[in-house]
Amino acid sequence: MLLLPVLAYAAGQPGTNAASTIKVMPLPATVQIRAGELKLDGSFAVAIHGHTDARLEAAILRLQRRLEGRTGIVLPLGIAPSGTPAVLTVAVKARGEQYPKFGEDESYALEITGDHASLSSETVVGAMRGMETLLQLVSGDPDGYYFPLVTIQDKPRFPWRGLMIDVGRHFQPVDVIKRNIDGLAAVKMNVFHWHLSEDQGFRIESKRYPKLQELGSGGLYYTQEQVRDVIAYAADRGVRVIPEFDMPGHTSAWMVGYPELASAPGPYEIQIQWGIFDPTMDPTREETYQFLDGFIGEMAALFPDEYFHIGGDENNGKQWQANPQIQEFMRAHGYHTTAELQTYFNQRVLQIVQKYGKKIVGWDEILTPDLPKDAVVQSWHGYTSLDHAASEGYGAIWSTDYYLDHMGPAAYYYLSDPLPADSKLTAEQASHIVGGEVCAWGEFLSPENIDSRIWPRTAAAAERFWSPREVTNVADMYRRLDAVSVWLEQDGTLHLSSMDKMLRQVSGTAELGPLGVLGKIASPEGVGVREQLNRGGTPSTQLIPLVHLTDAVVPDPPYRRQFAELVDQLLEDAPKFTASFEELTRTFQQWRGMGPGFAAMATAAPLLQNASSRVLQLQKLGSAGLEALNYLHSGATPPAEWRAAQLALISQSETPDASLLKLPWMGSYRALILATKEVGELKNTDTREWKRKIMEEAARQEPAQKFTW
Amino acid sequence: MLLLPVLAYAAGQPGTNAASTIKVMPLPATVQIRAGELKLDGSFAVAIHGHTDARLEAAILRLQRRLEGRTGIVLPLGIAPSGTPAVLTVAVKARGEQYPKFGEDESYALEITGDHASLSSETVVGAMRGMETLLQLVSGDPDGYYFPLVTIQDKPRFPWRGLMIDVGRHFQPVDVIKRNIDGLAAVKMNVFHWHLSEDQGFRIESKRYPKLQELGSGGLYYTQEQVRDVIAYAADRGVRVIPEFDMPGHTSAWMVGYPELASAPGPYEIQIQWGIFDPTMDPTREETYQFLDGFIGEMAALFPDEYFHIGGDENNGKQWQANPQIQEFMRAHGYHTTAELQTYFNQRVLQIVQKYGKKIVGWDEILTPDLPKDAVVQSWHGYTSLDHAASEGYGAIWSTDYYLDHMGPAAYYYLSDPLPADSKLTAEQASHIVGGEVCAWGEFLSPENIDSRIWPRTAAAAERFWSPREVTNVADMYRRLDAVSVWLEQDGTLHLSSMDKMLRQVSGTAELGPLGVLGKIASPEGVGVREQLNRGGTPSTQLIPLVHLTDAVVPDPPYRRQFAELVDQLLEDAPKFTASFEELTRTFQQWRGMGPGFAAMATAAPLLQNASSRVLQLQKLGSAGLEALNYLHSGATPPAEWRAAQLALISQSETPDASLLKLPWMGSYRALILATKEVGELKNTDTREWKRKIMEEAARQEPAQKFTW
């Protein structure tokens, strides 16, 4: 075998990862790539050396099925009998934890030579992580499928790499949960945080307190059998399941069946609005703790994970302030604020959780002086809060920047680091930053669109959690994300399929025409804008069908980058402006002409009408874009009024409206318009410097965007 | 309210249904449409008059959710309290059968006026059928959503309207089954025939004979709990579930666990190849009947339907002929043929089935002299066989023309009538033709592509089973099918989403480019061609991953009709040939240019390589198409050699190849080429007559197609 010089591929070295051709995500800690191939064909038998068990063998069978699905090759399924030749050898030292455990060794090594691949790990979970890498390495050339020759040593940067799904505000069926667990495993994440109770719904069967689900869920809850099934499914994939029961606030749904838990007399109803509500558990009654003892005991037995999430966020304290008995209790105990009373409540709940052998997880608000050191704080309040928890010796999880409902681009999540390079924490303190969790809050999630809210953006966060800190090349991240996104759908997620399906349903036709164009280039406004607009008009509630255009289109659509690339190529080609001229012309013509077709669709499907003014803007943007191309191409500077008019149009198109549709490539479009400013004098200019300035000016004019609360 | 003259809309009157604007499928027995609208808005409350029960209320809630999903309107869910105003009134006379029964009254009447809709029926199932009609009537205009004003009296033409799914050859998980049951209910079908055992797999749990599933399924089978769940799900939607256990042949998978059932010594293995196999139950041993008594008793208790399908087809008799003991038995009983021995076997099985209170269903082969008159014969041998069964007084089900795996167009299934107008049966005999069943045989079905094999074509068959015989306007069928197809996906099927998802997986990219073009215009070859080609090369087996292009593309793609329409418009516009000239030009340019892009994809994804020559043909068809457009537009007759070359290219492109991709619009393309023949002399010709001749000639040259065995 011809061995070319080894390409050093240490992920941390600037510039090197962009040069890579592999599409592995998260990027391994270290990779060396050599020239050559290991063929993938019908001879690809798999042998196990060392430890084996049912979980490992099931994981290998899944690997084989996925390889088959990706290549069409019939593989010898299962484990090759010992003594027969095998192309892939899996050598696992020991079983590891049967139920995956915080801090378990997930490292693995993968060595691929021209005739053999060997995957070795300390634990079964480590081998599973390596199998995901192997699968992502499959490549093709005219001779068929193959693996590149690599030497990989890999392990995660953080031990806690999670996704929270809020099933309280909108219920998500078991199959939705399972396919997203498959997604987690595919990008080496290891925690599924199941936000099971909310003001808007109590989503799990309690046999001890059946009115919780019977009266608090509208019939939409998981049976304990389903929960056990999900836990086993996740464990099989090396994913922990952590239940969250948010308390003492966010508990309206509990109180429908058990009003005595509340700090004010009932009756209570399931909330259908969004926001923060008054109903709060009464922390002064012993019966509250008796109830919680029974409930937590039941749930602690159901969920094997050593951690138990008690929420603890957003208690507005109103019921406590309004209840004379509670006020009296506070005076008697010397509590001056409701926060202090909540500390008391947390302490009591903590004792219960500990009694059942669990450690506690909670949102920032649980961090009070008496919190035991084995607690984990999930931070949604920012770095100050996160670092405070870590410096106090608590496990700390970064979630502030990872709220998917703010609809930030993948790059935003990607670049937010739980432990940034400029962190002021000492090494010891930093060791308490255990990872991060992406949060899928449920106000606007349906089983139809949830996947496209979670994926592929969560894969970018997965790389942040797993790969070395220095892996930060955004372009390379997107290159790999585009591939991983497709593979995730093979594993069961529907994030790439859902939009067209929803657009067909909304429009009643499979011939999407202008709606298909709009869907491809628009993205949903974030939850902040949505709530703001809703407050102005019809308030949004749990009852509103999530079938509007804004529910269908995807956050951070690839078109944002594609359009940026087209504009970049055009401006790079100054002063000729030939590159991408034709494609931009076609694009703008398409926009300019989409009005009549869209109007016809909106007539038949009135649900589309709220996008009419956005479409009108798009038509105008198309016309102006064609004019801009003309000015640039002909080297004629347009009148200042023309440019001012277009910038006003841009500003209008950036203003949120009833469609809740955003045009996320507007920065690039603005650059195109700005570029016309001095195009007449461009012949004698340094066009590189000119372009730099245009881009700078466009960035300066871009309205500030915020992807957290 | 202004009442315009009533538009008579009796479905049977030729020509009238094409003029309709409603998109109801199957078309009701009688419809009258009046001018005006009933608004659909937040006031759309539903009341029940007369009988009510949980099944009816659940059906109404599903109706409301589906209306919400289609319109985005928040509706008052559930049943309006009595005394409050309601827009829709549902009046059901009586419960009907709790578990839906053959012959149950499914009729309903729907009356929609400007301020009220009333749905009335004899049974709950009848009301469910009416709700599907109501849902399909939802329309939109600039003022919002509404129902047209109609008077509908409706009932099915045939009482047995089924879909068979073969889960033996490839297993289909419960969610696949459920979403297809939703599809059946949406088009008023009422039988799900579950083909549960095959040479390639035994798919249901037997507690009595657990080795059936443990050794005969490769782990892929339904638990009895799942089966009960599916039955309840179907019954809730007015769909019967009929299990089939094919015997005495097609039973290899039984014999893996119970070789003593066979007529030759084992051991046996699950078959992975397709075809007809030797393993056959031994009809001469009493132990066989003892086993079947135990098994059928168990299954008869599990499935509530009064019918039980015992298969009975394709026993090749080889094991019987080779077994001296069986030969001796035949001699002793005076049987001269294995068919006579099978009759004996059937009689014995029949007694067992009857003992457990069931009536028998079987394929043509069960029709032997002693078959009791309450048996139902499912015909796959043709009208002779079907009519023979009916004339003998047996219930007869038409399936010969409804084999989906032959990949016929919807129109083919649509026009095949269980009881055609020219039937020679007497009225009494005809009354035994109880309906039809569409058959989804499983050789090439995966959970990913099964929906696109079943839908939307099965909806066309549903109309054949339900609507009056005279409803045969193919263009109007397709107009409605296109709408129903989209709605079916709202109800859970994935037939419109699956192709792009599979193409993304095969190519590893979401930017489908030329692959998207190819996917849209190609369809899969039928099973006959596929088997024929397979026999020449690698034989196809159960192990081959169904991820090839031919598995992804859909039968009868809408593009076939779209392209035909373009060519029709062009020729209609002779001698100018301006209409659709531009669109055809764009189309052909796209084909001509797709080579390099496709080649690049096939390099990265070698699985695509088997389509390379089809793509090359498509490139040539694009070039030739552009030349043809030029000849026509310029009025210059091309040389005869040019036309001969193109006809040869067409013929080549129609020849099945390794891609197993068919270009189903080739007839229209041929017409385009043929049209160039005398285009130079066209100025003085009757162009209408000219076009008619072109079309005739194109039809004559089209290779014969066969969509049955």
Active site residues of B: 314
Q: How far apart are CA A158 and CA A435, in angstroms?
A: 5
Nearest CA of chain B to the CA of A696: how many Å?
30
B485 vs A510: CB contact, 8 Å cut-off? Answer: yes
Closest CA to A195 of A235, A237, A247, A236: A247
Closest CA to A414 of A468, A478, A464: A464
> Do residues A28 and A152 touch, judged by C-beta distance below 8 A?
yes
Mutate to test the interface with B, among A496, A598, A608 (most CBs of B within 10 A): A496
| Long-range pairs, B66-70, Cβ under 8 A, ≥24 | B66/B135, B66/B490, B66/B491, B67/B40, B67/B135, B67/B138, B68/A545, B68/A547, B69/A505, B69/A545, B69/A547, B69/B490, B70/A505, B70/A508, B70/A547, B70/B135, B70/B138, B70/B487, B70/B490
* Run of H or E including B319: helix B318-322
The answer to pTM > 0.90 is: yes
Q: How far apart are CA B307 and CA B438, in angstroms?
A: 18
Catalytic residue among A97, A306, A314, A627: A314
Mutate to test the interface with A, among B497, B540, B556 (most CBs of A within 10 A): B497
Which residues have C-beta within 8 Å of that of residue B490, sequence separation ≥ 6? A505, B66, B69, B70
Q: How far apart are CA A310 and CA A349, in angstroms?
A: 8
Nearest CA of chain B to the CA of A144: how many Å?
5
Residue A10's pLDDT is 41
Nearest CA of chain A to the CA of B502: how many Å?
8
Q: How far apart are CA B33 and CA B152, in angstroms?
A: 9
Structure tokens at B623: 């070039």
Of B483, B510, B547, the CB nearest to A482: B510
B175 vs A contacts (CB less than 8 Å): 175
> Do residues B540 and A74 touch, judged by C-beta distance below 8 A?
no
B489 vs A508: CB contact, 8 Å cut-off? Answer: no
Residue A322's pLDDT is 95
Q: How far apart are CA B485 and CA B496, in angstroms?
A: 8
Residue B184's pLDDT is 98
Structure tokens at A653: 């198109």
B504 vs A contacts (CB less than 8 Å): 486, 489, 496
A615-639 pLDDT tens trace? 999 999 999 999 999 999 999 999 9
A74 vs B544: CB contact, 8 Å cut-off? Answer: yes
Tell me the pLDDT of chain A averaged across its residues: 94
Structure tokens at B492: 């859970």
* Run of H or E including A402: none
- What is residue A217's three-state secondary structure? coil
Of A140, A489, A548, the CB nearest to B72: A548
Q: Both ends of chain B: CA-CA distance in Å?
A: 56
- CA–CA distance from B573 to each of A671, B79, B576 (Å)? 46, 56, 6
Closest CA to B50 of B156, B102, B126: B126
* Run of H or E including A656: none
Closest CA to B78 of B58, B50, B94, B55: B58
Residue A258's pLDDT is 98
Of B68, B73, B603, the CB nearest to A140: B603
Residue B83's pLDDT is 85
A473-523 pLDDT tens trace? 999 999 999 999 999 999 999 999 999 999 999 999 999 999 999 999 999
Structure tokens at B514: 């030329």
**Amino acid in the structure at residue B287:** E
A510 vs B547: CB contact, 8 Å cut-off? Answer: no
SS (H, E, C) A472-519: CCHHHHHHHHHHHHHHHHHCCCCCCCHHHHHHHHHHCCCCCHHHHHHH
Structure tokens at A183: 């997604």
Of B142, B508, B609, the CB nearest to A603: B142
Of A74, A547, A603, the CB nearest to B72: A547
What are the DSSP calls for B320-382, one per residue?
A: HHH-HHHHHHHHHHT--SHHHHHHHHHHHHHHHHHHTT-EEEEEGGG--TT--TT-EEEE-S-
Give the residue, B403 or A371, on which the prediction is more confident: B403
A140 vs B496: CB contact, 8 Å cut-off? Answer: no
Of B489, B606, B607, the CB nearest to A504: B489
- CA–CA distance from B390 to each of A68, B393, B396, B446, B495 (Å)? 47, 5, 6, 35, 35
A446-463 mean pLDDT: 98
Could you tell me which residues are beta bridge partners of residue A49? A91
A547 vs B70: CB contact, 8 Å cut-off? Answer: yes
Q: How far apart are CA A56 and CA A136, in angstroms?
A: 19
A144 vs B501: CB contact, 8 Å cut-off? Answer: no
Lowest average pLDDT, out of A371-375, A466-470, B454-458, B677-681, goes to: B677-681
**Amino acid in the structure at residue B241:** V
Mutate to test the interface with A, among B61, B501, B583 (most CBs of A within 10 A): B501
Cis peptide before B524 (omega within 30 of 0): no
Q: How far apart are CA A101 and CA A82, in angstroms?
A: 31
Residue A20's pLDDT is 64
CB atoms within 10 A of CB B705: 14
Q: Both ends of chain A: CA-CA distance in Å?
A: 56
* Run of H or E including B118: strand B117-121
Q: Could you say which residues of chain B have pLDDT below 50?
A: 1-19
A140 vs B68: CB contact, 8 Å cut-off? Answer: no
Structure tokens at A593: 């002409």
A548 vs B contacts (CB less than 8 Å): 72
Closest CA to B192 of B225, B248, B236, B127: B236
A557-569 pLDDT tens trace? 999 999 999 999 9
> Do residues A522 and A528 touch, judged by C-beta distance below 8 A?
no
Cis peptide before B456 (omega within 30 of 0): yes
What are the DSSP calls for A256-309, one per residue?
A: HH-GGGBSS--------B-S--S--B-TT-HHHHHHHHHHHHHHHHH--SSEEE
- CA–CA distance from A244 to each of A198, A312, A445, B598 (Å)? 10, 10, 18, 49
Cis peptide before B267 (omega within 30 of 0): yes
B174-198 pLDDT tens trace? 999 999 999 999 999 999 999 999 9
Determine the number of helices (DSSP H) and then strands (DSSP E) in chain B. Answer: 27, 20
Residue B447's pLDDT is 97
User: Helix B498-507 vs helix B514-521: angle between axes, to the nearest 10 degrees?
Assistant: 140
% residues pLDDT > 90 (chain A)? 90
Q: How far apart are CA B99 and CA B122, in angstroms?
A: 15
Backbone angles phi, psi at B687, to 5 degrees: -70, -25
A509 vs B490: CB contact, 8 Å cut-off? Answer: no
User: Which residue in this structure is represented by tokens 């798919």?
Assistant: B203
Nearest CA of chain B to the CA of A511: how many Å?
9
Pairs of residues, one from chain A and one from chain B, whose beta carbons lie less than 8 Å apart: 130
